[in-house]
Amino acid sequence: MSGKDKQREERLAAALRENLRRRKAQSRELGQGGGGSDDEARFREGMAILGGPAAASDWQRAVDLIDAAAAAGNAEAIARRAVFECRGVGRQSDWEKALDSLALAAEGGSVWAAKQLRVLADNRFEPQVPETGEGRSWRDVRTGISMAKCLSVPQPRSLSADPLILAVPAIATAAECQWLIAAAGPRLQASEVYQHGVDPGRTNRFAPFSFAHQDVISEVFRTRIALALGAPQQCLEVSQVLHYEVGQEFVLHCDFLDPQALGEEIARNGQRIVTVLVYLNEDFEGGATSFPRLGLEHRGATGDALMFRNVDRSGQPDPRTQHAGRAPTSGQKWVFSQWVRNRAPS
């Protein structure tokens, strides 16, 4: 960021903080809790659109409403704007601006933003989570976060050269994993199989992280995965968190799309060429990812990833990648799941 851009951002931040201060003072004078304002209404309307059936067609209106609420000083809208900034929604992707917005939102009272800052501060390079207080502000916490470190990817280890299967140690921190488990827990639903809905062979539950449910932490996950694969983020499908109780499983299956049955889908949105699993916990027994045709089973520790190609070197579906998510025999299993296409959808 240039000096002029930084000065402009600092002036904007100062203006927004003053706006927040005035709004809080007005709410106290009126004996209100701060709700019911125009910017709150705009934010709620924007979020309702993102979470509703019109999200695909009316997302720009939703983004505009949330941006307007953020510009007016609504702390939750500013926190949501941080997601737009790191994703590059309606603007260039800018992680530094996203962190600035999280800090500003936290200072304005957004607990959601404050918690994300703490998770990001607790990265693998900084073992202690910074606390505010004793003169330490959310701006200080934000300043201590290095996105270069947060988005770094550890060296993978090969489990199979053909088909390609890689294990990536500690691609995520324990704090990030706990954040995703907490975010997914209230939204779990019966898992489905592509184009066939609920299937008796897949008895686990899942929570999708669609646009309305994404946050900066989930976007960090997705960005690390894209960087590890050298793939554009536009090729990543909607992320999911999978949950397995004792006895729940996903029986043997392949993740590539069948060209015979799904030729139109592949032509429109590309083939599903890579699967990435990030293990979010390890306090369970059993629950390995099994590749019986390769004689391979793998179970990572908290924050480890498993990446495998679903197609061969010519790009054709590879049946050797048939795999299963085995059931835990005790405890609960949580996994972040990401499918990657060979191109962005049309």
The rounded mean pLDDT for the chain is: 88
Residue 335, H or E segment = strand 333-341
pLDDT of residue 120: 94
**Gyration radius (Cα) of the chain, Å:** 22
For residue 163, cis peptide bond before it (omega within 30 degrees of 0):
yes
CA–CA dist 282, 155 (Å, integer): 21
pLDDT surpasses 70 at 38: yes
HSE-CB for 61 with a 13 A CA cutoff:
11
Other beta carbons within 10 Å of 171: 26
Structure tokens of 326?
């085995």
Which residues, other chains included, contact 294 with Cβ-Cβ below 8 Å and sequence gap of 6+?
160, 163, 165, 320
For residue range 275-300, list pLDDT tens digits in order. Answer: 999 999 999 999 999 999 999 999 99
| Residue found under tokens 């579906």 | 317
**Single-letter residue type at 195:** Q
Which of 189, 305, 197, 324 is CA-nearest to residue 249? 324
Length of the chain: 346
pLDDT of residue 194: 56
HSE-CB for 246 with a 13 A CA cutoff:
6
Q: Name the 3-class secondary structure at 105.
A: helix
Structure tokens of 66?
């949330």
CATH code that applies to domain 157-341:
2.60.120.620
HSE-CB for 195 with a 13 A CA cutoff:
8
pLDDT surpasses 90 at 124: no
Which of 109, 100, 106 is CA-nearest to residue 34? 109
For residue range 158-212, list pLDDT tens digits in order. Answer: 999 999 999 999 999 999 999 999 999 999 999 765 554 456 677 999 999 999 9
Cα–Cα distance list, 186 to 114, 207, 239 (Å): 20, 9, 16
Which residues, other chains included, contact 80 with Cβ-Cβ below 8 Å and sequence gap of 6+?
43, 46, 47, 66, 70
Structure tokens of 292?
């019986």
For residue range 127-168, list pLDDT tens digits in order. Answer: 344 455 444 689 999 999 999 999 999 999 999 999 999 999
Single pTM value for the model: 0.87
DSSP 309: E
pLDDT of residue 1: 53
Q: Name the 3-class secondary structure at 177.
A: helix
3-148 fold: 1.25.40
pLDDT surpasses 70 at 34: no
Indicate the domain borders of the chain. Answer: 3-148, 157-341
pLDDT of residue 137: 87
CA–CA dist 260, 55 (Å, integer): 31
